[in-house]
Amino acid sequence: MGNKQEELEAIVQWENYDIVAIMETRWDDLHNWSAAMDGYKLFRRDRQGRRGGGVALCVGCFDCLELDDGDDRVECLWVRIRGKANKADKVGVCYRPPNQDEEADEIFYKQLGEVSQSLALVLMGDFNLPDVCWKYNRAKRKQSRRFLECVEENFLTQLPPELEDSDGEQNEAPIIQGEMVSDLLHHLDTHKSMGLGGIHPRVLKELAEVLTKPLSFIDQQSWLTREVPVDWKLANVTSIYKKGQKEDPRNYRPV
């Protein structure tokens, strides 16, 4: 994981995923990351005897149990998750090194066949088989074709089947235009009271040209980092009575 550990933790907590699969953890006995993922149960399988590799699953609020396959020659991890109505599913994560031999591949295929027999299965992983064409279910290399055969034998489906073509614009963070920030500052209502920051709207309006650049930068960074400055979350809230029984909190609105 290296320096990506804190970044992954922040993304997981922000998105509130139910299950997170991690490949190439590169952990060993010196790493104990379970305490850092609040609200998740950590299952891990570290690579034995060599550096690198390793897989892990972080599972949220589910009744779950790790399934022991008893073979460390392949980097796989299988977990049974019990859901509603006492139904159980299996989730697996696998990392296949690019130079893995056919013997290790067959061990993985055997495990996959066993875990996919009785329960619904979701398999995630990095199999390092770049020549596989999921659209036509074809591959050039022998090992890749064997992998596709195993997928078909166990009635598995690739999701998503392929990535959608995109120019990338819809996935990029919006650019905060200085003109927009300046316009908002110039149209502030000077009759409003100041907030907890102690700066009156008239001051912000009069200093719009000076404040436009730093405020635009702060707004842009907030978009990019998905973080809101702590001071922006503070407010003076007063409960205003609307109607009905004054003892009922639902009859008040915040201002």
* Same domain as 184, residue 123: no
Does the residue 13 lie in any domain?
Answer: yes
Give the number of domains in the chain. Answer: 2
6 with 89, same domain: the answer is yes
**Residue 167: is its pLDDT beyond 80?**
no
Summarize pLDDT for 84-140 with one digit per residue, the tens.
666 778 999 999 999 899 999 999 999 998 888 876 899 999 999 999 988 778 899
Among 138-147, 168-177, 244-253, the range with the most confident prediction by mean pLDDT is: 138-147
Statement to judge: residues 90 and 188 lie in one domain: no
Q: Is residue 145 part of a domain?
A: no
In this predicted model, what pLDDT tens digit does every residue of 60-76 receive, in sequence order?
Answer: 888 888 888 767 788 99
Rounded to an integer, what distance in angstroms lies between the CA atom of residue 83 and that of residue 85?
7
Residues 16 and 122 occupy one common structural domain: yes
Instruction: Give CA 227 to chain center in angstroms.
Output: 16
Average pLDDT over residues 144-158: 89
Which pLDDT value is given to residue 62? 83
Considering the domain architecture, whether residues 119 and 23 belong to the same structural domain is answered as yes
CATH number of residue 124's parent domain: 3.60.10.10
**Residues 204 and 110 reside in one and the same domain:** no
The domain boundary, picked from 128, 150, 183, lies at 128
Residues 177 and 61 in one domain: no
Domain identity same for 42 and 96: yes
Q: Is the pLDDT of residue 44 over 80?
A: yes
The three-point CA angle 43-146-89 to 5° equals 35
* pLDDT of 66: 87
- Edge to edge, the sheet with strand 19-23 lists 19-23, 55-59, 41-45
Among the three residues 95, 128, 161, which one is the final residue of a domain in this structure?
128
The confidence score (pLDDT) of residue 198 equals: 85
- pLDDT at residue 35, rounded to an integer: 45
Range of the domain at 220: 173-254
Residue 159 located in a structural domain: no
pLDDT tens, position by position, 172-216: 667 888 898 999 999 998 888 888 888 999 999 999 999 999 999
Is there a domain that residue 33 lies in? Answer: yes
Q: Which residues of 199-238 are buried (b: 16+ CB within 10 A; e: fewer)?
A: eebeebbeebeebbeebbeebbeeeeeeeeeeeeeeeeee
Computed over every residue of the chain, the mean pLDDT equals: 83
Residue 124 sits in the same domain as residue 177: no
Percentage of the chain exceeding pLDDT 70: 87
Residue 255 scores a pLDDT above 50: yes
Residue 235 inside a domain? The answer is yes
* Domain identity same for 177 and 89: no
